[in-house]
Structure 1
Amino acid sequence: MRRPVLAVIGLLALTACGGEPPVSTSPTTTTVSSSVTTPPPAPTTTPPTTTVPPAKPAPVVVVDPGHNGANAAHPAEINRQVPAGRGRWKACNTTGTATDAGYPEHAFTWDVAVRVRDLLTAQGVRVVLTRPDDNGVGPCVDRRAAIGNESGAAAVVSIHADGATDPAARGFHIAYSAPPLNEAQGEPATRLATTMRDTFVAKGFTTSTYIGSAGLSPRDDLGGLNLSQRPAVLVECGNMRNAAEAATFSGQDGRASYAAAIAAGILAYLG
């Protein structure tokens, strides 16, 4: 009966002295960080704002070819009296003059006006003609002025050729309203006249030998100029009774040269 007790005691002693500690069989867990770094959003870039200025409106120029082809056939109509400014009344229009060979002023002014229109249009200018062709009557001088006023023209240029009886008289002159009746007839009209005169001289044309001074002629009796509320001038290109100038008026090249000078003067004025 005593042997089993001793065996148990010995077993306990072996367990208490020198036995290895029990080995844990629990698995070891290693934690790996799985966090993902999200890059910050790219900054928003606002493209610079480009301000486009509004297109500048085309300047308006009224070109007034003097007289008209059917005026001579309608004397009652062109002779009726119309306002001419400064309290005066004048005939609606006239037939104009002609060279000794019969080339009429109205045909010359129409041809030159069309050339001027085409030259200015090519430079972005909006051109208004006071008559649509060379086959009509008028319009009267007061209506020609009204066309310029109603259009808000930057410049009004009336084209003529003179009929001085002295065949030796020659050269161009630029007429303008004086003394001025409104602001447009003051400095703007004077500057337009001077610019036109200077351009004609630069193009080789001679100033008038018989009217005005140095190519300028201030006038108070021309209805189209008196009634204008826009800067306006009248260009007398020369004397149709002078043989040399008559030849220039009658030729294509001559009319082209006058048109080039008038267009250049207008463009120089518009600046």
Structure 2
Amino acid sequence: MSNGSTFPPPRRLRGTLLLVLVAVVVVGLGGWLFWRSSGGEPPRAGQPAPGRSADDEAAAGTAGHGGSPDGTDGRGHTPGDGSGTAGPPRGSLKGRTVAIDPGHNPHNRDHGREIARLVNIGNERKECDTTGTATNDDYPEASFTLDVARRARTLLERRGAKVVFTQDGDRPYGPCVDERAAIGNKAHADAALSLHADGSGAGNRGFHVILPARVTAGSADTSDIVKPSRRLGEGLARRFMAVTGSDPSNYIGDGTGLDVRSDLGGLNLSTVPKVFIECGNMRDPKDAAQLTDPKWRQKAALGITEGITDFLTH
């Protein structure tokens, strides 16, 4: 026989190989059956991966993309919050302070003498506060402003902002317009907003944003806030229109939705960027139908939140 000859393997070796092959098949089949019995299908889009809860996925920003209109995941969590390594998510307002001034006060009507006293607004003296207007069905402006302000506070806080109110329906009246400005100043607010609704004649529709004029008189000096306040107001008008579908005022601002005034103490005495927004005209039936609708008020709050967010993150 030569060295290149081949021989069939011994029977004992062939039997050993067959047993090894059978063992591999059995182990593989058993593992597959165990995986199936434990629900081992690959996670579909929007489902947490095995070993991770839905909250884990939301915190890591890897859950499905069916978020809520305010840019959160529907539970008030901004995608990316809590990941520990990614840093603040896009649009985060962490470390920012926003002052919201809900116009008037539901109790002002019971304190006529107190709100009628004059206070210094720099370039003149004006009433401490007023009662505000109302719809023809007696829905008060003060109730509207508080409701929208509270909704906006919730949305802003979800994005990480610290929100300071001038009043939350918890004061007997006011506060006076000079104190309203002082509250935002003391908080060193990065942005301040006074919330209102107008009381013009029927047929006058739409929203407008009031910007501070340059005022340097007495205790008022708006020199440093005029420019950033305009940027805040322009962004607010743009976002408010986009989110609510409302048009800019057809009676103030020449279609721009912007108005500049020097007779408002809340603006004259502010040392932080600040604007007013008149969300609509309560005396017009069509505008009033929106202002009294909770769903529309939620849109208004979101539009305000988006406008403030743009200002503080760009």
Alignment match, 1:198: 238
Which string of whole-angstrom CA distances, capped at 9 and with x for unpartnered residues, describes residues 24-66 of structure 1?
Answer: xxxxxxxxxxxxxxxxxxxxxxxxxxxx9x9996100000000
The runs of 5 or more residues in structure 1 that have no matched partner are 1-51
1:185 aligns with 2:222: no
1:72 aligns with 2:114: no
Separation in structure 2 between the aligned mates of residue 135 and residue 257 of structure 1, nearest angstrom: 27
Q: Which amino acid letter does the alignment assign opposite residue 176 of structure 2?
A: C
Identity of aligned residues (%): 45
Task: Tell me the secondary structure at the aligned position of residue 121 of structure 2.
Answer: strand
The 2-side partners of 1:137 and 1:251 are apart by 26
Consecutive unaligned residues of structure 2, counting only runs of 5 or more, are 1-84, 216-220
RMSD across aligned C-alpha pairs, in angstroms?
1.8
Relative contact order: is structure 1 or structure 2 higher (C-alpha 8 Å, sep ≥ 6)?
1
In structure 2, do the counterparts of structure 1 residues 134 and 243 end up closer, same or farther at CA, with 3 Å as the change threshold? farther
Cα shift at 1:135 = 6.1
1:173–1:237 contact (8 Å) kept in structure 2: yes
**Structure whose CA Rg is larger:** 1
Query: What do the CA deviations read for 1:179-227 (whole angstroms, capped 9, x no partner)?
Result: 2533432211110011111112222220000112310000011110000
State the alpha-carbon separation in 2 of the partners of residues 202 and 245 from structure 1. 16
Aligned partners of 2:214 and 2:223 also within 8 Å: no
**Pairing of 1:1-271 with structure 2 (within 5 A):** 58-86=95-123, 88-133=124-169, 136-164=172-200, 166-180=201-215, 181-203=221-243, 204-213=245-254, 214-271=256-313
Aligned residue type for 1:194: E
CA 1:189/1:72 → structure 2, altered by over 3 Å: closer, same or farther? same
Q: How many residues align?
A: 217
Report the 3-state secondary structure (helix = DSSP H, G, I; strand = E; otherwise coil) of the residue aligned with 1:85: coil
Q: Which amino acid aligns with 1:140?
A: C
Residue type matched to 1:131 in 2? Q
- State the TM-score, normalized to the length of structure 1: 0.77
